[in-house]
Amino acid sequence: MSKRQFERSRLAWIDLILQSAAALKGRGGRAALTALGTAVGIAAFVTTSGYAATARAQVSDRFDATRATEVFVKLDPEARTSTASIAPHFPLDAQHRLETLQGVQAAGLTWRTASNATVSNRPGSTQSTDGTKTPILAATPGALVAMQATIIGRSLETYYDTHAERVALIGTGIADQFHITSIALHPSIFLGTRSFTVIGIIQSTVRNAEVLGAVVIPAGTAAMIYPGDVQEPQATISVAPGAAATIGAQAAAALDPFHPQWFRTLVPPDPKTLRQNVEQDIQKLFFGLGLIALIMSMIAIANSSLVAVMERTGEIGLRRANGARRSHIARQIVTESAMTGGVGGIAGASIGVLAVSAIAIAQQWTAVIPPTLITAAPAIGIGTGVVAGLYPAIRAARIEPVEALRSA
Amino acid sequence: MGLARTYPSSPPVEALQPCDLAVHEGDWLAITGPSGSGKSTMLNQLGLLDRPSAGQLLIDGVDVSGFSDRDRTDARANAIGFVFQAFHLITHISATDNVEIGLLYQRVNRKQRRQRALAALEAVGLSHRCDAKPSTMSGGERQRVAIARALVREPRVLLCDEPTGSLDSNTALQILDLLDELNDAGLTIIVVTHDPVVAQRARSRIEIRDGVARYV
Ligand SMILES: Nc1ncnc2c1ncn2[C@@H]1O[C@H](COP(=O)(O)OP(=O)(O)O)[C@@H](O)[C@H]1O
Ligand SMILES: [Mg+2]
């Protein structure tokens, strides 16, 4: 005969879980309080992470499509002094040069011109109706496309440009000023003594809102009538989403490969980097808070399960006397605290989701809660419970049946 | 050399001097002696709850004194039922669930376990209290549940440490009657007690004084 005459002790999984559940039920209110601690921890974690995700989504929304798809090029005022021979300027075919760049959807040049001319609805008037100078802009056909101007009537099509036609677009502000409500009757406007036919009214633009208070004439016309009168030239480029940074880097060389230093390119802040910065700050802060809450709940579980182990010394000894191995005892203690953590995790996830939704509603944001967060929450709770249960489990496993059963 | 246990405290306590005894199948043995004499120490040795400092313990001729903690656990689960003075019931689960603990760590499926638990409760006369929780039971009922828990494993030997110590004399007598019945049915019983009334019921007696055991 040998030791094998004795069948091996074992503890089925289902029994392990049922025994642990029964033990937790027996602890009732205290177990619930411990789980509540975990719930608060996990809720803080879910809330902060969910809040971070929600806030991040708002941040990304703010970098709306238009901002991320525009590039402006101006002359660099410092280049003027350093280059003595030729004054920095945009090439005549600036629009065409920019349009050839990969990713450019529309591009055009504008500048202020006709500095001495006053806008009026009578020939030769030197006084504008309200005494302020209405800006007169020259624009290549692509400029209005790049601005995404909404025009009633016609835009400055290439024909007007190449034929230097005396036509003009007026911003909606000017149209109001001169009571021009329709272009059906081909209204005229006077720049100094020259009459221009109004072919369209700019109702709105996505970019370069200043055109709404300006008179815009074809670039070709401006070059013919007001040669050399080029103030504040600027290229407006509308680019494909994501292409802004690349085009910003290429625009200067494309405009004038020999004098790229003449130009200064204005690219909107890269949404990606900006977003990442915001993300990281929020994430770090909130992650830290959630982590602290979790650690605190871990300590709470560890504490309550240690107390429970000490109180249950007799029960543990009894189980040992009935064939439970040290590992069976340890597993039960870990399972109990894992269950506490898991229940806390589920409750915490629910509280967290509610909290994030409440915040989002209050801020009129769209709640964004990563589904992984919700599935992870119980897992995090269980993990917290397992870690918290390790020390109490070791202590429980060390209990000798003899000691435990001493009459008590 | 006889079984002995010395507790390694300072100074060491020779709780059980080397002794020789044999327990046969169907015995009803009482271990008596005053408090602190070493009765529980002896019982813990016989129940494989503790390891001897010296000597051998043979079960069916197998020396279990050198068994590891794990092997002793397995042997306990298979061969020995325990009844303690303090019952050691889990108060918030039903009598049946408590009795099932006796089989929990063995290869018995849940359905069989429940059936055997109910049968054990019936054997101790508690069929009507199956669903009751120990917290609502009298001392005698609790000790019956504890006995049922020890019996459900169908042990080779039932070890009882002061089984009537927490009970009034009337209830104690009922428990002793139950032990008698079980012994009549063939169960080996070893009872540790300082109560002469209990000792009288046994078929054989060992008395321990200051760790020295002798047959009476
Ligand atoms: N773990 C231990 N360490 C040291 N001394 C112990 C230990 N357990 C019991 N003793 C001592 O051994 C002696 C016998 O104890 P015990 O067997 O419990 O006596 P009884 O059950 O007969 O009252 C007592 O003196 C007791 O104090
Ligand atoms: Mg004792």
CB-defined contacts A:B, below 8 A: 115
Rg (CA), chain A: 37
Residues from chain A that touch B153, judged by Cβ atoms under 8 A, are 322-323
d(CA A181, CA A304): 79
> A322 with B77: CB under 8 angstroms?
yes
Percent over 70 (pLDDT), chain A: 88
CA distances from residue A269 to A63, A205, A274 in whole angstroms, order as listed? 9, 21, 7
Q: Is the CB of B9 under 6 A from ligand 1?
A: yes
Model confidence pLDDT, tens digit, residues B175-194: 999 999 999 999 999 999 98
Residues from chain A that touch B69, judged by Cβ atoms under 8 A, are 326
Write out the DSSP string of A127-157. S-TTSSPPPEEEE-HHHHHHTT-EEEE----
Strand partners for A194: A191
Rg (CA), chain B: 17
Are A26 and B101 an interchain contact pair (Cβ–Cβ within 8 Å)?
A: no
Write out the DSSP string of A263-330. EEEE----HHHHHHHHHHHHHHHHHHHHHHHHHHHHHHHHHHHHHHHHHTHHHHHHHHHTT--HHHHH
Residue A337 corresponds to which tokens in the numbers above? Answer: 């605290």
ipTM of the complex: 0.93
Q: Is the CB of B36 under 6 A from ligand 1?
A: yes
For A127-141, what is the mean pLDDT? 76
d(CA A368, CA A53): 6
Q: pTM here?
A: 0.68
Model confidence pLDDT, tens digit, residues B5-43: 888 888 888 888 888 888 899 999 999 998 889 998 999
The CATH architecture annotation of domain B3-215 reads 3-Layer(aba) Sandwich (3.40)
> B191 with B198: CB under 8 angstroms?
yes
d(CA B123, CA B138): 18
Q: Is the CB of B21 under 6 A from ligand 1?
A: no
Whether the pLDDT of residue A301 is over 60: the answer is yes
The residue that leads in pLDDT, B151 or A60, is B151
First to last CA, chain B: 21
Model confidence pLDDT, tens digit, residues B114-167: 999 999 999 999 999 999 999 999 999 999 999 999 999 999 899 999 999 888
Model confidence pLDDT, tens digit, residues A250-266: 888 888 888 888 888 88
Whether the pLDDT of residue A4 is over 60: the answer is no
Residue A28 corresponds to which tokens in the numbers above? Answer: 């009732």
Mean pLDDT: which of A299-303, A369-373, B9-13 is highest? A299-303
Are A9 and B162 an interchain contact pair (Cβ–Cβ within 8 Å)?
A: no
Residues 124-183 of B with CB under 8 A from A: 149, 153, 161-162, 165
Q: What is the mean pLDDT of chain A?
A: 84
Are A10 and B93 an interchain contact pair (Cβ–Cβ within 8 Å)?
A: no
d(CA A207, CA A146): 8
Which alpha helices (H) appear in B105-191, and where do they start and end? Answer: 110-123, 139-151, 169-184
The pLDDT value given to residue A92: 84
Q: Which of A13-17, A142-146, A288-292 has the lowest mean pLDDT?
A: A288-292
Are A15 and B82 an interchain contact pair (Cβ–Cβ within 8 Å)?
A: no
Residues from chain B that touch A26, judged by Cβ atoms under 8 A, are 90-93
Residue A405 alpha carbon to ligand 2 centre in Å = 10
d(CA A120, CA B142): 109
